[in-house]
Amino acid sequence: MRSLISLLALLLLLAGCESKQTPKPPASQPQQAADNAIGVLQKLVNDQNYRSLGFDSVDEVKQAQLGQPLTVMNIPLDALKGYQAGTDPQSLLVKSSETVYPVTVNGQVKSSVTIVRNEAGYAPSSFGNAPIVKALSQYRQSPNADSDFVVRVPALNVYFLGRTVEGKTMIVPIAEDPRFKLRPGEAVPLEAALPELVAAANAYNGLPM
């Protein structure tokens, strides 16, 4: 992900100002971890990074609030490469340990906080990723938007907004991608998009994207 501060960078950035404080233990719920992360984000934003984190000014982050979270479903590269026509497309979706919380200012999505579940509980893993979360939120307009989720193919660095309609997974492309004929904003059944995703997976050279 671009325009993103990882947990390692976060720890380095906060080492000086937090050295005299006892670190908070992981939260027992993702919402609690996200609430705590807003305070961390407000400490992270400065004159050098506020734009890369999605804000228009340093002071804007003081008004930051959490939006409706998005669970993340991954499609592994090997699953795509091994996919056979007729296989249930739902079987490709693997629930991630991550939950993405949009960060809003005056109702507009600006940034995000990603919460990850580990053995100890829930904790923030990254901040920012503004272009992706803004694009996801742009197409989150259905009456049941609170049940929308992220469909991600990590190896191909591609994201879709997902939703379930009459028992089928629909995906909404959020950006133009020359590898696919899919059009941003137009929901298609996951099954219909799989031939293009499989072709991209088979053509993938293994290099970071």
Residues 101-155: pLDDT tens digits? 999 999 999 999 999 999 999 999 999 999 999 999 999 977 778 899 999 999 9
pTM: 0.86
Tell me the CATH number for domain 4-203: 3.10.500
Q: Give just the sign of the alpha carbon dihedral 39, 42, 43, 49.
A: positive
Tell me what pLDDT residue 6 has: 53
What pLDDT score does 14 carry? 43
145 φ/ψ sector (left φ>0, alpha ψ -120 to 50, else beta): alpha
Rg (CA), the chain: 18
* Average pLDDT value for the chain: 89
